[in-house]
Structure 1
Amino acid sequence: MRFHIGAGPELQLDLTSALDIGSCRVDGVELSPGRAVPDDGDPRILHAVGGFLFTCGPDHVRHPEPIAGTSGRKYPLHGSMAATKPEIIAHHRTEISEEVIARIIVRMAQGGDAEILRTWRMDGATGEVTLTDRLTNIGPQPFPPMLMYHMNIGAHLFDDETMLSGSMYEPGGMPWTFGEGDGHVFCVPANREEGDEFARVKLGPLAPLGGKSLEVGFANDTLPYLQMWRNQASPAHVLGIEPVSHPWKKRADLQDEGMMTLLAPGEFLIYRLSFSFI
């Protein structure tokens, strides 16, 4: 589904997988990594990770772990939401903005259902794209919600001038080639500047976009961590900016630390993020 107006990026919203973002083009340049991603053996994720943004959760993020109370069953890679078809319930377009609202019902691995009411908006004047997800427990039992947004960019677009900066980084930022070797992951608290409702991270300049940078913002009340990931082990060549609800730890450790707060039937949480090319 094409989603574009005015100065905004040209997006393709995925009607087969949670209304995530597949293609993202800016000034005619494709930013999504496409096939330059690792294959972890799950076709849902291989499809999703090649796009510009996909959503992990709402029952699990990161790699598979055992489901408590079962005989060895595991949560799927990055949770149950990928490959879930959305129901479009509204689509509004004016001369200066576009909005799409969808309902996504996720059957979770441990049982029960969750509803994500997803709203995409694009400001044609500023080019800013915003996402609001309302996650509601519509099942009969409480569950600990987990959510992570993978924003994946083809790293062939970067050069030695491309840096990461923002409220999570020291002044001056850091190179996009963080860590050592062909890949690295780290996860840090998502700090925000005083007076700003969002934590922010910037990636750039991007020479193929005429020196523009990608700026990502997210509300750290429900997304209190930022995970960064890169993989240059051929055929992969990708960097991920990943706002996330939980630090990079095993479920058992998160449980022991009191970080797996339950969402009761009928309760909901709101997750918000934005991005723009500046």
Structure 2
Amino acid sequence: MTHPAKDLSHSELRQRTVDGRGLADIRLLQMDDGPGRGQRLLQCRNAVGVTIEIAVDRGFDIASLLWRGVNIGWNSANALPWPLNSADAENGVGFYRNFDGFIVTCGLDHIGGAREGDASHFIHKHRKQVYYPLHGRISAQRATISGYGINWECDVPEIWAEAVIRQSSVFGENLVLHRRIKLDVFSGKIRIDDKVENRGFRPTPHAILYHVNFGYPFLNENIRLSGDIDAGLMHTFNAEDKRADDDYVDYFQEFPLKSDRDLVTVGLQNKSFAGDVNLKMSFSCQSLPKFGIWRAFQSGVYALGLEPTNPQIHDEKQKQCLQTLAAQESKNYSLEIEISS
């Protein structure tokens, strides 16, 4: 459905809603109660019923996604805690004490399980090994906001927010994530554009994973998968029992991408509530060549994760990461999500 205001000029829109808040808004808020007290959120809403919250102090990730008042993203019992628990705690799985939200970025120097790696590339006498906690540290870093607002005068009016997030250590990595998030005013399109830059003067291991998480009620036993992925695995997923189970053991499964184009799309559909909801996620298989699905249907967790990634390549004997960013080198990534009925 086309929004009736979509084809009006900026001047005509201002005649009807002088500051635009009748159609869209973005506000910097601070949580004042509960486990997340003290952290900053950028709350955005558009004209067609999309609301997102950007967790400024948690990697500038998107903490929640609502579609016309219906929850699409995933929420855990952690409730966006602040201050964050140490990622290094509990033998490297402190991540689980913080894990919550629609999009959680993993990296920037490590993804996957906790492990140790060689630190000789940092050439320091007290740093022989690097400890990598589960899924890295970037999601636990505070952002410096570069700006935010609504651009009404571009061809496609958009709500936007930009920030810089740094992951660093003395005699260690100095990696910077430049992130821009935009939400179209008149459609359900959300786009994340990232640049990861090695600001240090030594080569540094690099990997990134977008943990895109879905929860109830969008996630229920009727959800279906589609897109440019292995047809057999997709059919198996769609036929599975997806009800919550007290004894369900979560697992990750890689799904090979199947497309002759660089831009691939993976979709989720649920035709059983809120008038049929369709969600599409698009990304470049050149910059994010691997994709997998995390099933976590255990009662009290009940989550589904879609995970495009630029993975690490390890030399297990030498405990070295073979994928690095050279000094001053950068890589670009983008992820687009579109939701509609």
TM-score normalised to the size of structure 2?
Answer: 0.71
- 1:76–1:109 contact (8 Å) kept in structure 2: no
Structure 1 SS opposite 2:273: helix
Structure 2 SS opposite 1:46: helix
Q: Measure the CA separation in 2 of the matches of 1:168 and 1:150.
A: 17
Matched, 1:27 2:68: yes
Matched, 1:228 2:271: no
Query: Where does 1:44-83 land on structure 2 (aligned, <5 Å)?
Result: 44-47=95-98, 49-69=99-119, 74-83=131-140
- 2:74–2:213 contact (8 Å) kept in structure 1: yes
Which ranges in structure 2 are unaligned for 5 or more consecutive residues?
Answer: 1-41, 79-84, 120-126, 243-247
Q: 1:184 aligns with which of 251, 254, 264?
A: 251
Q: Report the structure number with the largest CA radius of gyration.
A: 2
Structure 2 SS opposite 1:210: coil
| Bigger Cα displacement from structure 2, 236-245 vs 157-166 | 157-166
Matched, 1:208 2:208: no
| Counterpart residue number, 1:18 | 59
Deviation at 1:71, TM superposition (A): 6.0
Deviation at 1:52, TM superposition (A): 0.2
Q: 2:149 aligns with which of 92, 105, 109?
A: 92
Q: Measure the CA separation in 2 of the matches of 1:2 and 1:193.
A: 37
Q: Measure the CA separation in 2 of the matches of 1:110 and 1:57.
A: 18
Which amino acid is the alignment partner of residue 336 of structure 2? S
| Counterpart residue number, 2:308 | 243
TM-score normalised to the size of structure 1?
Answer: 0.85
For residues 43 and 29 of structure 1, do their structure 2 counterparts lie closer, same or farther at Cα, with a shift above 3 Å needed?
Answer: farther
Q: 2:182 aligns with which of 121, 125, 128?
A: 121
Deviation at 1:44, TM superposition (A): 4.6
| Counterpart residue number, 1:165 | 226
| Counterpart residue number, 1:219 | 284
Structure 2 SS opposite 1:208: coil
Deviation at 1:115, TM superposition (A): 0.9
RMSD: 3.1
Percent of pairs with identical residues: 22
Deviation at 1:178, TM superposition (A): 5.3
Structure 2 SS opposite 1:67: strand
Q: Measure the CA separation in 1 of the matches of 2:259 and 2:149.
A: 32
Which amino acid is the alignment partner of residue 78 of structure 1? H
For residues 120 and 45 of structure 1, do their structure 2 counterparts lie closer, same or farther at Cα, with a shift above 3 Å needed?
Answer: farther
| Counterpart residue number, 1:262 | 324
Which amino acid is the alignment partner of residue 208 of structure 1? F
Q: Measure the CA separation in 2 of the matches of 1:167 and 1:254.
A: 35
- 1:91–1:99 contact (8 Å) kept in structure 2: yes
Structure 2 SS opposite 1:125: coil
